[in-house]
Structure 1
Amino acid sequence: MRGTGVRARRSGPAPAAMAVRWEGGHSASVLCLAAGSEGPAASGGERGELALWGRDGVPAGRLRLAPAEDDVAALAFSPRRPHRLYAAHGAAVALLDVRALREPVERLRFNEDEINCLALADGGDLLAAADDSGAVKVVDLESEKVVRSLRHANICSSVAFRPRRPQSLVSCGLDMQVMLWNLQKARPLWTTNLQECGTEEDRLQSASQLFNPPLAHSLSVASCGNIFGCGAQDGKVRIFRVTGLKFERELEFKGHSLGVSQVLFMPESYWLLTGGNDGKVLLWDVSNDIGKQQKSPAKLLHKRKGQAAATARKDGKLNKVASNEHARILPKLTIEHGEKVNWITCTEIKGSRRVLVADQSSSISVYPLPES
């Protein structure tokens, strides 16, 4: 077993902890993870492999979806029916019942290319599937019909519904675009190109480093629904605030030395987990940097006063320059995982929060997280 340790910064010393390894669920790389509100966690991997896990880290069920050459690239539990698990398998979505894991209850196929991300609205009635063609298919699960087809110019890597706003969602892709959508409209309400979003120095640096453009890999929406984070290939994490029919860049910081493959806001907080191609998992507390007046993530956020920022508009897009103070944000916790991170999720085990990490191996690493 590889040695993987945890060390803390800013928040004092962390307990000496090694990763607990969950093994026996996969024979190849684990590509994605999901943790339901009840019952087991789930993992999907290469060769169509899917596994369920008990809280003790022992496989509670295994299944190989056919055809085996299609990887299981994304998973999502239903928020209203926690026994329902949706698994993206190639260009199809399999509906599974985790109470008795066997062949899919149903197979849905609305996408034309391999699916990278699944998202469910709060009510569990709408499913969004983002794929390699750049399409996001939004499906009404009751009627099993596509209610909206959204589009990126390149691979759409991530999509997420905004909590308590079932008609609103955000998406990002390898076209470096981050988009805000309302399902009543076919066109995005607001679009930001990450290559144009930043200071003049950032844009000059991006132009001179074409080998490392800010391809957008992952996004996550905080519980309040108005704040979301995006991780990109340039190693930066960008935090945005939705204001009406648009969003503005609230915060930007260098999160990893290589691409940021995963971002995840923890429930009911402004703690953000990020995973990177540099083999690190970082925990950030951005609550002080996105508005000191905010007391609860469930309430509407107010714009931080006195922030040193300049705003300019170009071609209908927002370009906001963050203050120097934002650039000094440091992680609350650093986990030296040691391998490229494919997926992260957060769950509670025996009353304590844990982060589950999937990488290039066939096992899952589980690390403790500090209490808020």
Structure 2
Amino acid sequence: MAVKWNGGHSSSVLCLSAEDVSSVVFSARRPSTLYTSHGESISVLDVRSLREPLQRFHVNEEEINCLALNDTDGFLAAADDSGAIKVVDLESEKVSWSLKHSNICSSVAFRPQRPQSLLSCGLDMQVMLWNLQKARPLWTMNLQDCDMEEESLQSAGQFFNPPLAHSLSIASCGNIFGCGAQDGKVRIFRVTGVRFERELEFQAHSLGVSQVLFMPEVYWLFSGGNDGKVLLWDISSNVGKQQKSPAKSLHRRKAQAAASSRKDGKLNKVASNEHPGVVPKLSIEHGEKVNWLLCAEIKGSRRVLVADQTSSVSAYPLPES
């Protein structure tokens, strides 16, 4: 039997419409201002009065997957299914830059304290570093190329599970960021100047990693997966200190893993991405595919909020240290 919603109207209901909201982001400088994406459109709302949007933007040609706002509230970036990232100058209310992936752009984020620097990733398996003064990315890394290089050190087997990049999150320092991909791995990168290098990677989930989220002020990273798990990782011992050459250290770890895998004259496949010391600080069996993660303080206690395939939002308590 259908559930009836009563009491809303005094006469006939002539029209219904429902619209999915794919991304929301609050202004850091104006806490009551909320940016939301729905379809190809962006609405700017005042949470104190939600009757009508303050502004509307329609700058993307396909469905928007992610919104990002920089520290100064000067620019809003919208990544969509065409691979485009439209960067809107909020003062002029016009698109100032159009950036591009070759496939769906799934995530985009501005770097803290660097209002014209942003990172993006997509289903083209590319992770890109942009500066808004340039029309092209400053640095690009193909996750599949990196993994094929590692596979060549371990075995001659084919690569079956492409690392489609679903989500990225930047630590509060602005130089360390994490990326979650379809192969279940979390990859950690360090930005140095106009490039970034891979610092660390580990197998986090048995299915794709749909969300990653750095907690404020610490190198604690949440990952949410299609396997229904939410995990908290403490990577401070791995990235907390600046290494002289992250690239060389990664290649050295690969070479050591390859050398240690030789036994009886044969090269046996090893899980070189299982970095010692990287174990979950907290493991939550959520049970549903994770769509979004958010950290919040509620009634004096820290919580991680989890959105999934259902209509409910779950809140889990977090450890204090």
Give a deviation string over 1:304-323, Cα, whole Å, max 9, x none: 89x85327xxxxxxx98797
1:1-372 correspondence to structure 2 within 5 Å? 68-198=17-147, 200-202=149-151, 208-210=158-160, 212-291=161-240, 294=241, 301-303=242-244, 308-310=249-251, 327-328=275-276, 329-372=278-321
Q: What letter matches 1:223 in structure 2?
A: S
Contact 1:116 1:157 in 2 (8 A): yes
Scaled by the length of structure 2, the TM-score of the pair is: 0.85
Q: What letter matches 1:309 in structure 2?
A: L
Partner SS state of residue 145, structure 2: coil
Partner SS state of residue 199, structure 2: strand
Contact 1:120 1:128 in 2 (8 A): yes
| Counterpart Cα distance in 1 of 2:315 and 2:59 | 34
Contact 1:197 1:320 in 2 (8 A): no
Structure with the greater alpha carbon radius of gyration: 2
Q: CA deviation at 1:99?
A: 1.0
Contact 2:65 2:81 in 1 (8 A): yes
Q: Percent identity, aligned pairs only?
A: 69
Give a deviation string over 1:292-339, Cα, whole Å, max 9, x none: xx4xxxxxx44489x85327xxxxxxx987975862311100000001
| Counterpart Cα distance in 2 of 1:256 and 1:334 | 11
Q: What letter matches 2:112 in structure 1?
A: P
| Counterpart Cα distance in 2 of 1:267 and 1:184 | 28
Partner SS state of residue 310, structure 2: coil
Q: What letter matches 2:108 in structure 1?
A: V
Partner SS state of residue 279, structure 2: coil
Partner SS state of residue 196, structure 1: helix
Q: Match of 1:315?
A: none
Runs of 4+ in 1 over 6 A off after TM superposition: 204-207, 319-323
| Counterpart Cα distance in 1 of 2:256 and 2:71 | 32
Partner SS state of residue 309, structure 1: helix
Q: CA deviation at 1:68?
A: 3.6
Q: What letter matches 2:35 in structure 1?
A: Y
Partner SS state of residue 61, structure 2: coil
Scaled by the length of structure 1, the TM-score of the pair is: 0.73
Partner SS state of residue 310, structure 1: helix
| Counterpart Cα distance in 2 of 1:182 and 1:321 | 34
| Counterpart Cα distance in 2 of 1:249 and 1:327 | 13
| Counterpart Cα distance in 2 of 1:75 and 1:289 | 31
Gaps of 5+ in 1: 1-26, 28-65, 295-300, 312-318
| Counterpart Cα distance in 2 of 1:191 and 1:147 | 22
Give a deviation string over 1:231-263, Cα, whole Å, max 9, x none: 000000000000111000000000100000000
| Counterpart Cα distance in 1 of 2:16 and 2:94 | 24
CA RMSD of aligned residues (A): 2.5
Contact 2:65 2:106 in 1 (8 A): yes
Q: What letter matches 2:280 in structure 1?
A: P
Gaps of 5+ in 2: 4-14, 258-271
| Counterpart Cα distance in 1 of 2:291 and 2:136 | 31
| Counterpart Cα distance in 1 of 2:273 and 2:66 | 33
| Counterpart Cα distance in 2 of 1:370 and 1:180 | 33
Partner SS state of residue 304, structure 2: strand
| Counterpart Cα distance in 2 of 1:231 and 1:166 | 23
Contact 1:180 1:188 in 2 (8 A): yes
Q: CA deviation at 1:198?
A: 3.5
Q: CA deviation at 1:352?
A: 1.4
Contact 2:148 2:159 in 1 (8 A): no
Q: What letter matches 2:41 in structure 1?
A: A
Give a deviation string over 1:164-195, Cα, whole Å, max 9, x none: 00110000000000000000001000000000
Partner SS state of residue 96, structure 1: strand
The 1:91–1:67 alpha-carbon spacing in structure 2 relative to 1, beyond 3 Å, is farther
| Counterpart Cα distance in 2 of 1:332 and 1:280 | 13
Tell me: higher relative CO, structure 1 or 2? Use CA pairs within 8 A at least 6 residues apart: 1
